[in-house]
Amino acid sequence: MRLAIQQFVPEFGAVEGNRERLAAAVEAAPEAAAIDLLVAPELAFTGYRFRDRAELERLAEPVPGPTTEALVALARRLDLHVVAGLAERDGERVYNAAALVGPAGVVGRYRKVHLFADERRLFDPGREPWPVLRVGDVPVGLMICFDWIFPEAARTLALGGAWVIALPANLVLPHCQSAVVTRAIENRVFIALSNRAGADRREGLEALRFTGQSRIVGPDGEVLVECERDEAAVRAVEIDPALAADKTLASGNDIFAERRPALYGALTRPPGNGA
Amino acid sequence: MRLAIQQFVPEFGAVEGNRERLAAAVEAAPEAAAIDLLVAPELAFTGYRFRDRAELERLAEPVPGPTTEALVALARRLDLHVVAGLAERDGERVYNAAALVGPAGVVGRYRKVHLFADERRLFDPGREPWPVLRVGDVPVGLMICFDWIFPEAARTLALGGAWVIALPANLVLPHCQSAVVTRAIENRVFIALSNRAGADRREGLEALRFTGQSRIVGPDGEVLVECERDEAAVRAVEIDPALAADKTLASGNDIFAERRPALYGALTRPPGNGA
C-alpha cells in the first residue's frame, strides 16, 4: 500500500476554493498516480478559527455532501482513497468529522469525541467510538487531532483491528508529533498524522499558528516520512500494512495477547466511582 | 518534594554487596540529606541475567526481608523513602517486584504484571493492578519496566490518584525513555524512570547491555533531570507534586474530567470477545 499524507494550508471560509486547491495539490504530486490512501488534515475545507457557532453552521455541510462528492471525484480520477477532516452538519448538530471516501463513494465517517479548547462551544461531541473501516483488504481506523492525548482512542482502534490509523489534525502544540511514535509502538500500527500548516488570522480573534510536521510512523516507531513545519506538501511511502497484524516484539512478547484486561478495570469506570 | 533517581550498576548475584554499594552511593550523593523519595532500578540487588528458575529462587528473598531491612535502615539514616526493584520470593512463587520503604518499614509492594522476554519463564506474573501508596501526603504509584509499553499501567495509576509514578527498569531498548514523556503528558503526572546501566555478562548466556538514561519527567512532558547512558549516578530535583492533581491544560481541557469511559469498552473486553 502506498500511504500518503497531505499537509495543507486552507484559506479560512473559502470552502470551494480549498476543495479545488487540495485536489489540485494531490494531482500535481509526482507520486499521485501511485497513492492508495491519502490522509488530509482536520477541517481542511473550512479552516479552524470559527468566530461562533453561527459561522460554523453556515460553513458546515452534510456527509455525503459537496465536499465528499468532490473527494469521490478525486478518488475516481486517481483511483485512491482519501481521509479528510470537515465540518459536518446533521440536522441541528455540527460535528468536527473525518470522512473516508473512495471511488465508490463515502466508506465511513468519524465524529470527533474529544473536543479541544473552543471546539467545545462550537461543535457537538461525537457519541460513537473510533471506527475501523476498509480500504481494500486494509483495516483503517479514524481519529482526529486532540484524540491523540487520550491513549484510549488509538488503543480502541488497534484492538478493533486497525492496521493503519489516519489522524487528521490542526495542531497548535508540538507534543502530538512525538507522541504518535509512542502510539505506534504501543499498538504496533502505522499512523498517518496529517497536520495543517500556516495560520488562521481573523479580525478580533487571536491568531492560531499550526505546527505542520505531519508524519507517517511505523509499528516500531520509525518515522517513515515527514513534512517541515511550514510547507504545503504531499509525501508518500510504500508500506506493508499487514506488518501491523503481528503484535510480537523481537523479545517474543505479543503485546496484545499479553494484555491483562482483567486488571484494567479503572479505565472504563465512570468518574467518582471509586477509581 | 525532593525526588531522586539512582542509576546503578549491580554486580550479578552479589546481593549483599549490591545492597551496600547502592546505599553507599546514595549516602555519598551531595544532595542525599535533602531527598524525600529515591527511585532505584528494577532487580537492583540480584542483577537481571538469571541462568534459570533455580538460580532466581536461590537469589530471591521475602518482602519484608534482608534487602527491605537494609533499605529501611538507609531510609532511617537519611529520613527518606525508597522505591527499589528486587526478586521477591513468596512460598513457591517468585516475583519481579518493587517495594516502597520508609523509616517506619515497608509501605507497600508491586509485583510486575507484564513480564518481558525470558522473565516469562523465570518469574510468576503479578496478579494485582498497580498500587498507589503514600509518601507523606503524596500519592506514589508503582510500575516496573516493560509495563511502560501498556498504556493501561500508567493510566491505572493516574486514575487511582498517583501524582508521582516510580518506574524502576532494566531497559535494553531506548523506546521507554522517550515514551515516558508521552505517559507523563497523557496523565499529567511526574514519572521517575530509574534504569540500570552496564551489562550482565554471564558465561553461556548472551550479554545484555542496559541503556541507562534514567530521567524524571514532569506533567507537561518536560525532562527535569536525566542521566547519561553508562554512568552510575544519583540525580534529584525539587518538584511540586500537587501540580499533578490538576489535569487541566492551558486550553482549558481537563483531560481526566473529559475522558469518555463509556466509549472505552474495548480496553477491558477479554480477547476474542468481539473486540
Chain B window 233-272: which residues touch A at a Cβ cutoff of 8 Å? 251-253, 255-271
Note the pLDDT of residue A139: 98
- Tens of pLDDT, residue by residue over A90-116, are 999 999 999 999 999 999 999 999 999
User: Rounded to whole angstroms, what are the CA distances from A136 to A109, B175, B250?
Assistant: 16, 32, 41
Q: Report which secondary-structure segment, H or E, holds A273.
A: none
Q: How many domains does one find in chain B?
A: 1
A221 within a domain of the structure (yes/no): yes
Cell numbers at B123, concatenated: 518469574
Sign of CA dihedral A6, A9, A12, A15: negative
Neighbours of B101 (CB within 10 A): 27
B175 within a domain of the structure (yes/no): yes
Chain B window 172-211: which residues touch A at a Cβ cutoff of 8 Å? 175, 178-179, 181-183, 185-186
Note the pLDDT of residue B275: 41
**Which residues of chain A are within 8 Å of residue B120 when distances are taken between CB atoms?**
252-253
For residues A252 and A243, what is the distance between their CA atoms, to the nearest angstrom? 15
Q: Which residue of B has its CA nearest to A156?
A: B266
C-beta separation of B109 from B63 below 8 A: yes
Query: Is B42 among the residues known to form the active site?
Result: yes
For residues B244 and B255, what is the distance between their CA atoms, to the nearest angstrom? 12
Note the pLDDT of residue B87: 98
User: Rounded to whole angstroms, what are the CA distances from B182 to A264, B56, B152, B191, B218?
Assistant: 19, 34, 13, 10, 10
Go through chain B and tell me how many residues it has. Answer: 275
Bridge pairing between strands B223-226 and A215-217: unpaired
Cβ-defined contact of A182 to B185 (cutoff 8 Å) = no
C-beta separation of B114 from B129 below 8 A: no
B196 within a domain of the structure (yes/no): yes
Note the pLDDT of residue A174: 82
* Mean per-residue pLDDT pooled into runs of 10, chain A (275 residues): 98 98 97 96 98 98 98 98 98 98 98 98 98 98 98 98 98 94 98 97 91 98 97 98 98 98 96 56
Each as own residue / partner, the long-range contacts of residues B26-32 (CB below 8 Å, 24 or more positions apart, any chain) are B26/B74, B26/B78, B26/B234, B27/B74, B27/B77, B27/B78, B29/B4, B29/B234, B29/B236, B31/B2, B31/B4, B31/B234, B31/B236, B32/B78, B32/B234
For residue B108, the enclosing domain spans: 2-249
Does B73 reach chain A within 8 Å, measured CB to CB? no
B33 within a domain of the structure (yes/no): yes
Cell numbers at A222, concatenated: 520509525
Does B146 reach chain A within 8 Å, measured CB to CB? yes
Note the pLDDT of residue B271: 78
For residues A4 and A74, what is the distance between their CA atoms, to the nearest angstrom? 15
Cβ neighbours of residue A249 under 8 Å, at least 6 residues apart? A255
For residues A109 and A97, what is the distance between their CA atoms, to the nearest angstrom? 7
pLDDT in tens, chain B (275 residues): 999 999 999 999 999 999 999 999 999 999 999 999 999 999 999 999 999 999 999 999 999 999 999 999 999 999 999 999 999 999 999 999 999 999 999 999 999 999 999 999 999 999 999 999 999 999 999 999 999 999 999 999 999 999 999 999 999 988 999 999 999 999 999 999 999 999 998 999 988 999 999 999 999 999 999 999 999 999 999 999 999 999 999 999 999 999 999 999 999 998 765 44
Size of interface A-B (CB pairs under 8 A): 135
**Which residues of chain A are within 8 Å of residue B270 when distances are taken between CB atoms?**
261-262
Q: Catalytic residue among B61, B88, B119, B145, which?
A: B145
B172 within a domain of the structure (yes/no): yes
Strand partners, B99: B84, B109
Cβ neighbours of residue A167 under 8 Å, at least 6 residues apart? A39, A143, A144, A145, A147, A148, A180, A191, A192, A193, A194
A265 within a domain of the structure (yes/no): no
What is the DSSP code string of A227-251? --SS--EEEEEE--GGGGG--B-TT
Query: Is B247 among the residues known to form the active site?
Result: no
Interface test with A, best of B116, B122, B185 (most A CBs within 10 A): B185
A270 within a domain of the structure (yes/no): no
Cβ-nearest to B151 among A113, A120, A155: A155
Where are the extended beta strands (E) located within B118-275?
132-135, 138-142, 164-169, 190-195, 199-202, 205-209, 215-217, 223-226, 233-238
Which strands form B2-7's sheet, in the order they lie side by side?
Answer: B105-111, B93-102, B81-90, B37-39, B2-7, B233-238
- 10 Å CB burial of residue A139 (0-12, 13-18, 19+) is buried
CATH classification at residue B109: 3.60.110.10
Q: Catalytic residue among B42, B61, B88, B226, which?
A: B42
H-type alpha helices, A29-92:
53-59, 66-78
Does B274 reach chain A within 8 Å, measured CB to CB? no
Neighbours of B71 (CB within 10 A): 30
For residues A200 and A206, what is the distance between their CA atoms, to the nearest angstrom? 9
For residues B48 and B68, what is the distance between their CA atoms, to the nearest angstrom? 18
Query: Is B112 among the residues known to form the active site?
Result: yes
B274 within a domain of the structure (yes/no): no
**Which residues of chain B are within 8 Å of residue A257 when distances are taken between CB atoms?**
271
Coil, strand or helix at A97? strand
